[in-house]
Amino acid sequence: MKSALPAPLAVFGDGWSWPGALIGLLILAGVALVVAGLPVYRQPTLDDRLEPYLRDTPRPSTLLMAPAPARGPFGFGELFAPHVAKLGAMIERVLGGAPSVARRQLRAGQPADVERFRAEQVLWGAGGAVAGLVGTALLAASRRELSVPLLVMFTVLGAALGVILRDTALSSTASRREQRMLVEFPTTAELLALAVSAGEGATGALERVCRLSHGELSDELRRCLADARAGANLPTALQGLADRTGLMSLSRFVDGIVIAVERGTPLAEVLRAQAQDVREEGRRSLMEQGGKKEIFMMMPVVFLILPVTILFAIYPGISFLSFQL
């Protein structure tokens, strides 16, 4: 006689098989794709209907246009792109914060594209959901039973964790880039001061420094020069550099250059003072980090070395007392 299942929430007992579960998942995915592709779900939106009448230039012939690159292997990108866009819009409605995302993308040196970031969050969430499914499958294989509530919980938690991890990765990328810019900033400011002292103008000094240096800050300065060549004046281009980054020291540096250019004050002295301020700020931050690390350095001493030392100190006495008794 076959015994009952050990857990009340178990769906499959000892006779369940992985091929059957895989076939069921594939059938469910196929039905979901068929339902999502029905004509009722493919109706054109208001933007799609108005776009041909609001376009400024006539659309060129498709025979003269270069073929668009395939998105994903075997055309899966074209198949899942609308669904990824819908899920990204859903994440945007739930989480919000599009200006914050665009700002962090600029700080990370990326173009401000919130829709692309939401699509990446969808993909990361899908990866987290797959990881949750794999974890549930391993747990079910070890226990020889599959719990549906546990499967749903792990899948939802994996998807949410993937979305959160993508947001955290963007913030960490922006922070690391700003730290690299802070490291490069004093040397770049001193090179600018030397170029200005040698007789170069502000634009010429920036061009010379961009040719001689490489790094994140140099890339931002090249972007400023490109904006200046495109028609913007140098103060406006530099202010765009300050707006794209979240560094107060760089904002003060840009303000000093703008004031020196507009009022005609000596630019070399301003640049040297800014470089010295950044070096002092870096030194203070190192001192603060050293003070914080000192506390963590005391933890192994207090919790590991000190107890062992006390044990070695009192063990002979305890042994002698036990021998006397």
Contacts of 217 (CB under 8 A, 6+ apart): 180, 181, 184, 185, 188
Structure tokens at 322: 């036990």
221 alpha carbon, distance to own chain's centre: 23
List the Cα angle 183/244/272 in 5-degree steps.
40
Give the integer Cα–Cα distance in Å for 25 and 240.
51
Contact in structure between 14 and 144 (CB atoms under 8 Å) = yes
Q: Are 281 and 183 in contact (CB under 8 A)?
A: no
pTM value? 0.68
Please give the Cα distance from 266 to 260 (Å, whole number). 7
**What's the distance, CA 246 to chain centroid?**
15
User: Over the stretch 85-105, which tens digit does the pLDDT of each residue have?
Assistant: 888 888 888 888 888 888 888
User: Residue 260 and residue 206: Cα distance in Å, rounded?
Assistant: 15
Would you state the pLDDT for residue 60? Answer: 56
Which amino acid does the sequence have at 257? I
Low-confidence ranges of the chain (pLDDT < 50): 1-15
Q: What 3-state DSSP class applies to 16?
A: coil
Q: What is the pLDDT of residue 8?
A: 40
The DSSP-derived string for 277-302 is HHHHHHHHHHHHHHHHHHHHHHHHII
Contact 262, 235 (CB under 8 A): yes
Burial label for 100, CB within 10 Å (0-12, 13-18, 19+), is: middle
Q: For 113-147, write each residue's pLDDT tens digit.
A: 888 899 899 999 999 999 988 888 888 888 877 77
Predicted confidence at residue 161, as pLDDT, reads 94
Helix, strand, or coil here: 10?
A: strand
